[in-house]
Amino acid sequence: MKGSHLGEFQELVLLTIMVLKENAYGVSIKREIKERADRSISRGALHTALSRLEEKGLIESWQGEANKERGGMRKRYYKVTDTGAAALRTTKQLRDSLWNEIPDLSLQPQHNYA
């Protein structure tokens, strides 16, 4: 089913929102991802992801306060819904079970240059 499938970027956004807790809005999400994953994402791309997630019911949003830096424009805060949290958990379980199948993973060089 398409609705329950989480893309890699969507998963990243969901997790970031959860990490940020009460302070998850456009700029903070963007900066958090930049800091943790060293990924520069455009605000436009982020908007697309957020609106998809909201459509699927994985997150919800509400208008917040405005301030001077924002030229008087209000923020929009995002929060992961229960469905969202469940979806994250499902994804994690799937990964975990896969990881469990792989015994002693160790990184080995593929080639030796003698």
Q: How many residues bind another protein (CB under 8 A)?
A: 20
User: Looking up tokens 């209000």, which residue turns up?
Assistant: 74
Give min distance, CB of 70 to another protein, in A.
4
Decide: 33 and 16 in contact? Cβ < 8 Å: yes
- Work out whether 34 is an interface residue with another protein (CB under 8 A): no
Among 19, 27, 37, 94, binds another protein (CB under 8 A): 27
21 to each of 40, 93, 94, 103, 105, how far by Cα in Å? 21, 22, 25, 35, 33
- Applying the rule CB under 8 A, the residues between 58 and 97 that interact with another protein are 66, 69-71, 73-76
Instruction: For residue 106, give the 3-state DSSP assignment.
Output: coil
Q: Is 39 in the site for another protein (CB under 8 A)?
A: no
Q: Smallest distance, Å, CB 30 to another protein?
A: 7
Q: Which residues contact 79 (CB under 8 A, 6 or more apart)?
A: 17, 24, 59, 60, 61
Given 4, 7, 37, 45, the residue binding another protein (CB under 8 A) = 45
- Residue 9 interacts with another protein (CB under 8 A)? no
End-to-end CA distance of the chain: 50
Q: Which residues bind another protein (CB under 8 A)?
A: 25-27, 30-31, 42-45, 47-48, 51, 66, 69-71, 73-76
